[in-house]
Amino acid sequence: MSQLSTKHLLGIKDITEADIRLILETAANFKEVINRPIKKVPSLRDITIANIFFENSTRTRLSFELAEKRLSADVVNFSSSNSSVKKGETLVDTVNNILAMKVDMVVMRHASPGAPHFLARNIKANIVNAGDGTHEHPTQALLDAFSMQEKLGDLAGKKVAIIGDILHSRVALSNIFCLQKLGAEVMVCGPITLLPKYIASLGVKVELDVKKALEWCDVANVLRIQLERQQIKYFPSLREYSLYYGINKKMLQALNKEIVIMHPGPINRGVELSSDAADSEHSIILNQVENGVAVRMAVLYLLAGIKG
């Protein structure tokens, strides 16, 4: 298989295992490219990509922009904070106005779950979902899988614990879908108030004790507490959360095996992860950031070959 089964990347739920494996194989080739002295290839020359972000982003936006420029694409950056959206313009009108300027592909982050799916039904360009509310973040799941594979080899049978604020996390859902399609076992762990009611129906194990989760897993993917999405208090204080669910190096050293620590960023140091754990030999957090560029290059390159 040398082509994706879809013209959009809206979510991991919508793509096949073969699509995931093709993206990861292509990303491995691009990782070799970005480590050369000359890091640019002409693969997307004459393709114009619009980065449309309706929510704040640092890593994802920079990573996509760098991936686009490494592929020699023309890049247009759009931020809703200084646009006509503030004057009442609709999402479809905003994007159609951008497409009228002959843009080929749209990378979009939006606060509303399903916004990229809505857009895909209404416009002709390829859409890449860079995060839609608390729904999905497909490229993060792909770069996480790529980073795990790089460290552990084939993920079939590997045990991955996703620890933290599962309820408000788009990373958790995409990771669950991606890891299951690659044959891994998945556990979610966090305070019961931060676990969605339906979560066990996705075929994941549920654990409330972080020490038991660490003893079970090969990889711990630690998520931050998303205070900006929380309308009510889900736990008494950050100090108490850190006391019961924070991971530190002492806990990792007490395990009878080596495990891998991951985090999609930004890290709240001293809350979900202590500095000595985040910067330890267990951590591949900076590898994730590097791999994000290669994975996003792969996604853009593969989608650019699919029109119609």
Quick check: 272 and 222 in contact, CB under 8 A?
yes
Pairing of strands 159-163, 219-222: parallel
From the list 299, 306, 304, the residue with the least C-alpha distance to 64 is 299
86 assigned to a ligand binding site = no
Active site residues: 59-60, 87, 109, 137
Tokens 């503030």, located at residue = 86
Find out whether 109 and 53 touch, Cβ atoms under 8 Å: yes
* Exposure string over 178-188, b if 16+ CB within 10 A, otherwise e: bbbbbebbbbb
Reference 44, options 103, 101, 85; nearest CA is 103
Non-local (6+) Cβ contacts of 284 within 8 A are: 147, 151, 260, 261, 262
The answer to the question of whether 265 is labelled as a binding residue is yes
Whether residue 288 is annotated as binding a ligand: the answer is no
- What's phi and psi for 135, nearest 5 deg? -90, -85
Residue 296, marked binder: no
d(CA 194, CA 272): 13
For 231, counting Cβ atoms within 10 Å of its Cβ (0-12 exposed, 13-18 middle, 19+ buried), the class is exposed
266 known member of a binding site: yes
170 a known binding residue?
yes
The verdict on whether residue 61 carries a ligand-binding annotation is no
Question: What is d(CA 155, CA 159) in angstroms, rounded to the nearest whole number?
Answer: 8
Helix axes 59-70, 138-152, angle to 10 degrees: 80
Q: Write out the binding residues.
A: 59-60, 87, 109, 137, 140, 170, 224, 265-266
List, as residue ranges, the binding site for L-aspartate.
Answer: 87, 170, 224
Instruction: Could you list the residues known to form a binding site for carbamoyl phosphate, using ranges.
Output: 59-60, 109, 137, 140, 265-266
